[in-house]
C-alpha cells in the first residue's frame, strides 16, 4: 500500500513539474492587450470550442471552469505565463 501511494505521489510530482516547464514567459500589459485583441476583437469571452493557439493551457487560464475565458482570466493567464504573445 505504501509503495502504491509513493508511486502515485512521484508520478503526480513529475506531472506537475512537466506542466510548469511548459509555461511560457509572462507577458507585459501591452503584449497581453495586443494578444487579447487578436483573440477577441469584440472583447467578448472566448469559448473552449473555439481553438486559440495563444493559450498554452486552457485549464490553467479558465480559473472559474465555466468553459470560457474572459478578459480578466486572460490577463491573469498572461501574467502567469499561460498565454503566448501574438507575433
- 18-32, 40-54, 61-75 — which is least confidently predicted? 18-32
pTM: 0.74
DSSP H or E segment with residue 12: helix 2-21
Strand blocks (E) in the chain: 46-47, 68-69
Of the pLDDT bands very low, low, confident and very high (cuts 50, 70, 90), residue 51 is confident
Amino acid at each position: 500500500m505504501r509503495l502504491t501511494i509513493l508511486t502515485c505521489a512521484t508520478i503526480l510530482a513529475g506531472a506537475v513539474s512537466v506542466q510548469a516547464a511548459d509555461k511560457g514567459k509572462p507577458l507585459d500589459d501591452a503584449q497581453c492587450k495586443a494578444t487579447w485583441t487578436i483573440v477577441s476583437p469584440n472583447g467578448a469571452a472566448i469559448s473552449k470550442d473555439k481553438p486559440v493557439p495563444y493559450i498554452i493551457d486552457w485549464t490553467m487560464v479558465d480559473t472559474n471552469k465555466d468553459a470560457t475565458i474572459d478578459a480578466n482570466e486572460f490577463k491573469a493567464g498572461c501574467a502567469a505565463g499561460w498565454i503566448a504573445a501574438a507575433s
